[in-house]
């Protein structure tokens, strides 16, 4: 045996370490938004998927608004991508990229959960309304017959408005700085729910039983609130759909006023099981996914 003249052969290194929750067979899900650091879906949806025995992960995917259409169209081509959760500001923009939309997404013009249906292509449905109203009612507050003020008429706001109307609220006031958006939502609601007392205008807290913030105000700047008031009538129940920070400025005002408060994480928790039902049912086709939403 002759040694090499220029270097000494060393024994092999110890084998590299590895984790046990991901492999080349793992199916991929994602949450798409901008910003994305506040998202809790990577933890919660991944937990629910793995609780059901699925070899799957949900990861954060940040896409800037100016890049959305170009990047998103390519994202849907990823072969091991089975579904997406969509957050602000992209919920209204995903519909043009889908092969099919469910009944709630069609009504409110936005989708929050997308699944690759086999067969059937990409299908989208809206779960924000189910999650928000479900969180409220899980706290013992029945929305039927209530007068409600909803702040925010975007994708999430539209979904929540339709679910409130479907559950039988008595009156609904829509508040949004973009009045044309609020007017359009009111027109759509009136066509589907002619018995609902609808109004569009400035915030007013003395004639409602339930206040819901479905706008992103309070997320990017935790010092801001979607209302100018610093006191809220104590009998008003306050729901803030913002998930990060957990205690938004609106929630702080409401708590200081003696109101019952419901936080954004409760909305997310309320819809996780239903959303994962939809994502996994899509493996059996678009009809199976819609059936899961309707349950």
Q: For residues 198 and 139, state if they share a domain.
A: yes
Please state, in angstroms and rounded to a whole number, the distance separating the CA atoms of residues 139 and 260: 9
Q: What percent of the chain has pLDDT over 70?
A: 98
Residue 263 sits in a domain of what CATH number? 3.40.50.720
User: Is there a domain that residue 88 lies in?
Assistant: yes
User: Is there a domain that residue 258 lies in?
Assistant: yes
pLDDT digits (tens, 9 = 90+) for 1-44: 556 667 777 888 787 888 888 999 999 999 999 999 988 899 99
Give yes or no for residue 190 having a pLDDT over 60.
Answer: yes
Question: What does the mean pLDDT of the chain come to?
Answer: 93
**Among the ranges given (3-17, 54-68, 69-83, 84-98), the one the predictor scored with the smallest mean pLDDT:** 3-17
User: Is there a domain that residue 4 lies in?
Assistant: no
pLDDT tier for residue 126 given thresholds of 50, 70 and 90: very high
More confidently predicted of 130 and 11 = 130
pLDDT digits (tens, 9 = 90+) for 251-285: 999 999 999 999 999 998 899 999 999 999 999 99
Domain that holds residue 280: 27-127+268-294
More confidently predicted of 164 and 104 = 164
User: Is there a domain that residue 229 lies in?
Assistant: yes
Q: Count CA atoms within 13 Å of residue 76 on its CB side.
A: 21
Q: For residues 208 and 259, state if they share a domain.
A: yes
Residue with tokens 């249906």: 117
At 68 the pLDDT is 97
Average of per-residue pLDDT across 161-175: 96
User: Is there a domain that residue 9 lies in?
Assistant: no
Element (H, E) at 130: helix 128-138
Give the total number of structural domains in the chain.
2
Q: For residues 206 and 258, state if they share a domain.
A: yes
At 14 the pLDDT is 80
User: Is there a domain that residue 5 lies in?
Assistant: no
Q: For residues 159 and 261, state if they share a domain.
A: yes
Please state, in angstroms and rounded to a whole number, the distance separating the CA atoms of residues 132 and 140: 13
Give yes or no for residue 178 having a pLDDT over 90.
Answer: yes
pLDDT tier for residue 96 given thresholds of 50, 70 and 90: very high
At 76 the pLDDT is 97
Q: For residues 281 and 231, state if they share a domain.
A: no
The 3-state secondary structure of 14-82 reads CCCCCCCCCCCCCEEEEEEECCCCCCCHHHHHHHHHHHCCCCEEEEEEECCHHHHHHHHHHHCCCCCEE
pLDDT tier for residue 151 given thresholds of 50, 70 and 90: very high
User: Is there a domain that residue 172 lies in?
Assistant: yes
At 294 the pLDDT is 81
User: Is there a domain that residue 140 lies in?
Assistant: yes
Q: For residues 117 and 146, state if they share a domain.
A: no
Residue 60 sits in a domain of what CATH number? 3.40.50.10860
At 3 the pLDDT is 60
């Amino acid at each position: 045996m002759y040694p090499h003249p220029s270097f000494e052969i060393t024994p092999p290194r110890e084998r590299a370490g590895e984790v046990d929750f991901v492999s080349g067979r793992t199916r991929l899900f994602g949450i798409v938004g901008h910003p994305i650091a506040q998202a809790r879906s990577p933890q919660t949806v991944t937990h629910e998927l793995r609780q059901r025995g699925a070899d799957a992960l949900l990861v954060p995917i940040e896409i800037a608004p100016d890049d959305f259409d170009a990047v998103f169209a390519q994202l849907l081509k990823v072969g091991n991508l089975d579904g997406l959760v969509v957050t602000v500001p992209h919920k209204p923009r995903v519909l043009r990229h889908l092969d099919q939309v469910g009944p709630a997404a069609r009504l409110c013009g936005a989708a929050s959960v997308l699944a690759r249906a086999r067969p059937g292509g990409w299908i989208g449905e809206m779960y924000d309304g189910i999650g928000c109203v479900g969180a409220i009612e899980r706290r013992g507050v029945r929305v039927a017959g209530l007068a409600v003020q909803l702040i925010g008429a975007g994708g999430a706001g539209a979904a929540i408005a339709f679910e409130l109307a479907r559950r039988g609220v008595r009156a609904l006031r829509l508040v949004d700085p973009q009045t044309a958006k609020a007017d359009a939502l009111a027109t759509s609601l009136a066509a589907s729910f002619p018995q609902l007392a609808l109004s569009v205008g400035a915030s007013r807290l003395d004639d409602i039983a339930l206040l819901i913030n479905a706008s992103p105000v309070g997320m990017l700047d935790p010092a801001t609130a979607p209302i100018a008031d610093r006191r809220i009538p104590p009998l008003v129940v306050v729901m803030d759909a913002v998930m990060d920070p957990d205690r938004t400025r609106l929630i702080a005002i409401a708590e200081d006023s003696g109101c019952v408060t419901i936080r954004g994480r409760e909305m997310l928790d309320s819809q996780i099981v239903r959303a994962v039902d939809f994502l996994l049912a899509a493996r059996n086709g678009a009809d199976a996914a819609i059936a899961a939403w309707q349950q």
